[in-house]
Chains A and B, each alone.
Chain A
Amino acid sequence: MALKDRQGRPLVAVTGMGVVTSLGQGREDNWAALTSGRSGIHAIGRFPTEGLRTKIAGTVDFIEVQPFCAPMLSERLAMLAAEEAVAQSGAGTKGDFPGALFIAVPPVEIEWPQREALAEASGQNEGVTYPDLLKAAATGRFKPWHDLFLFGTVADRIANRFGTKGSPISLSTACSSGATAIQLGVEAIRRGETKAALCIGTDGSVHAEALIRFSLLSALSTQNEPPEGAAKPFSKNRDGFVMGEGGAALVLEDAEAARARGATILGYVLGCGERGDGFHRTRSSPDGAPIVASIREAIEDAGLTPDDVDYVNAHGTGTPENDKMESMGCMAVIGERMKQVPISSNKSMIGHTLTAAGAVEAVMSLLTIQHGRIPPTLNYRVPDPAIPLDVVPNEARDATVGIALSNSFGFGGQNTCLVLGAEPKGLAA
């Protein structure tokens, strides 16, 4: 049997998955925690929180990197997730991955410890300026920081380690980046350009300025006590998202090639949908049209109909705006039946892993399909009458999930949806 979809394109199988979040390292630990309703959100210990409105996050504190900074932690999270995914898939040989790399990385820049070191090296005590920092930079003493803070460095190091082929793509579509990395991999396989792709989303960027930036946009929950109660997706009393860290990797393969080499197929990426939104820098079009279009496109791309969706892994950030718009979008596409379709938000437990979220949640969606068990939406105590959905409140639930829709939406009008499946429905005749 030729493994093509109805449009005659190669089917895209998932043969390896890896994940790290504040809940732990690896699929097993994460899955156990997620389905037992445990939260990884805690008081921030990494930097002082005096004077901040938000003092909590789902940081990954069990991994040490030196020097501590977003690119180093993001690289490590990506590395660990990719090691797990590549090992599970068995694709290629060690250091020789037979395909391309698509990686969603947080935008990086020099951070305060580095700026401070440069200021100190400049010898300037009064009125420090950038020309002073540049004088320190010119000494050559800080050469490794050039490489460390380039946007392409995390990808370069992953490519070196795993031996991926060609020019690795580092990308950002804000909070839908992880899903876009997967979409790029799907497209490359469907084009026949590669038989395999390593798709990663990673984000270890919870530092003071990053948190303050979101805080100044009033995007974060300020309910610091208790920390594990702060992320309240779909609840009436939701008051913002909680920043999280994590990394996830998926090995995608042309299903025919995967089967030919005897790989275990864990599931399929059946469809992808995306749509821009020119309404506002941080808010969705009030009519939800771009969200609706991207959900619809993902389902159509999979050769399915809205009636085929068994479960929605929500973007579910817990901001007043997102959850309302996401609910509206799902209702618009799936209709009245949506009230009975379970929808849950992993972010209620791991926080919003930002650049990594789309990849982390794609892995969780595939684990949901694999285990026949839906992780809950934690902290759902006060229903929002405007959101008439079954959010799988507070406790995991056994269910047969054949088709899952995973949503990702981001600042800058980014909307990306994936349809993941246990079996390739909608095969070529």
Chain B
Amino acid sequence: MAREVVVTGLGIVSSVGETVEAHLSALEPGFVPNVDTTTFAPYPVHPAVHLDWDKQIPKKSDQRQMEPWQRLGVYSAGLALESAGVKADAALKARMHLIVAAGGGERDYAVDGQILTGLRSAANHGVFLNERLMSDLRPTLFLAQLSNLLAGNISIVHGVTGASRTFMGEESAGVDAIRIAHARIAAGQAEFFLVGGSYNGERADAHLIYEMGGFYWKKAFRSVWERPAGGGGLIPGSAGAFMVLESREHAEARGVNPIAAIAGVSAERTRREPGALRASLEAQWRALGASRQAVVLSGATGVAQPTAEEKAALHEVAPGATIHPLGDIIGHSLEAQAPVGAIVAAALIAKGAPEVVVTAVGHWRGDGLIRLTPAA
């Protein structure tokens, strides 16, 4: 018999703010998104709000060892631990497991630019590269780039040391992190998790990848639902999103009231032939037992085909449902997409929503759903 998996802590930071309430307010009509159209022009971004890192990462030495994607994650992880009432309990954190959805690899732009300039006229490219990398790379930069070092920093800064696993793979990593934590708790393989991810949308090196693929929205801000008609495209958004998941028994034993329950998580992968994504989402919706009245928090990116297919699938399985596109509010946050959705969903449940379904559809591959309900 599967055990109930409950959400007991939420931590979220984005362009909207650093509180759960700010993100709930952003779902209300009249919300105006925070879009920076100049810093990375022609790429609009949803930049993270200014954060006082000291509040969650007390040591400057720790802050210096991290790049922004890691700081966003560690900061939001701290908020989640506080919200779950475990921040001060070292023994509890020492047996808390961690699953992190992460990318990695923030570059030193100045060093890269100087090397690329030098390479244009270097006699021997390989030798020049060796010399410059040996002398110009900060030794600790590697540790700010390694994917699993977001988890490592959470262990160091917050003392969450049960064991950590880092999932990679863009949007799928986020939904799979929640799926695996949920499955392990439900099956009695583990009790207590910190799960989430972070993404820094204000990175020229990350923009490079998606610009090569032609995935950016470079016009004036429009809703993700309207972008397919204009060619489609995503606007990156910075976000850190972590939540505490545990078995109902574990939450009760430590005297904590659940915020919501994770009723089910599914993740699939199609080859994205026309219609495949739509069929996958419809099948997952039914397999999770989601109802037609569920509130939907969509992770739609704005990229033409997947956004259009998601819209069609939702129209089929939940006609008339209230659908909030998170891409219109905080932008697209890759690995953090699903955790962001799950956290806002849990907050909606706490405000009285009977059922919320989160969609996590990748810009290129991967699709999943998370269904939340009030705890039993």
Contact = CB atoms under 8 A, between A and B. Distances in A.
A110 B209 CA distance: 8
Contact of A134 (B103, B183, B204, B368): B204
B151 interface: yes
B148 to A, nearest CB: 5
A49 B139 CA distance: 19
B106 to A, nearest CB: 10
B376 interface: no
A63 B179 CA distance: 36
Interface string B150-163: 01110110111111
B133 to A, nearest CB: 5
A50 B269 CA distance: 45
A212 B212 CA distance: 27
Interface stretch (B26-34, B113-121, B319-327, B349-357): B113-121
A390 B130 CA distance: 40
A161 to B, nearest CB: 12
A290 B162 CA distance: 9
B271 A48 contact: no
Interface string B174-215: 011001100110010100000000000000110111111111
Contacts of A171: 165-168
A136 B285 CA distance: 41
A7 B208 CA distance: 50
B268 A167 contact: yes
Interface in A109-144: 109-110, 112, 115-116, 118-120, 125-131, 133-134, 137-138, 140, 142-143
A163 B308 CA distance: 27
B146 interface: yes
B164 A412 contact: yes
B155 A278 contact: yes
Interface residues of B, number: 82
Interface residues of A, number: 84
A193 interface: yes
Contact of B214 (A143, A151, A282): A143
Given A128-B113, A212-B133, A412 B169 contact: no
A280 interface: yes
A168 interface: yes
Nearest to A164: B269
A423 interface: no
Interface in A38-65: 47-52
B112 A48 contact: no
A352 B336 CA distance: 31
Contacts of A187: 184, 189
Interface in A264-280: 274-280
Interface in B25-82: 43, 65
Interface stretch (A152-160, A242-250, A321-329, A368-376): A152-160
Interface stretch (A12-20, A213-221, A302-310, A391-399): A213-221
A134 B208 contact: yes
A170 B205 contact: no
A193 B189 CA distance: 13
B166 A281 contact: no
Interface string B91-117: 000000010001111010100110011
B125 interface: yes
A130 B204 contact: yes
Interface in B121-153: 121, 124-127, 129-131, 133-134, 137, 139, 141-143, 145-149, 151-153
B221 interface: no
The 6 nearest A-B residue pairs measured at CB:
A412-B152, A146-B213, A152-B169, A167-B267, A48-B126, A130-B204
Given A125-B117, A146-B364, A214-B142, 13 more contacts: A134-B43, A134-B211, A151-B147, A159-B269, A168-B169, A184-B165, A276-B98, A276-B155, A276-B161, A276-B164, A278-B155, A413-B161, A413-B164
Interface of B: 43, 65, 98, 102-105, 107, 109, 112-113, 116-117, 119-121, 124-127, 129-131, 133-134, 137, 139, 141-143, 145-149, 151-153, 155-156, 158-170, 172-173, 175-176, 179-180, 183-184, 187, 189, 204-205, 207-215, 267-269, 271, 364-366, 368
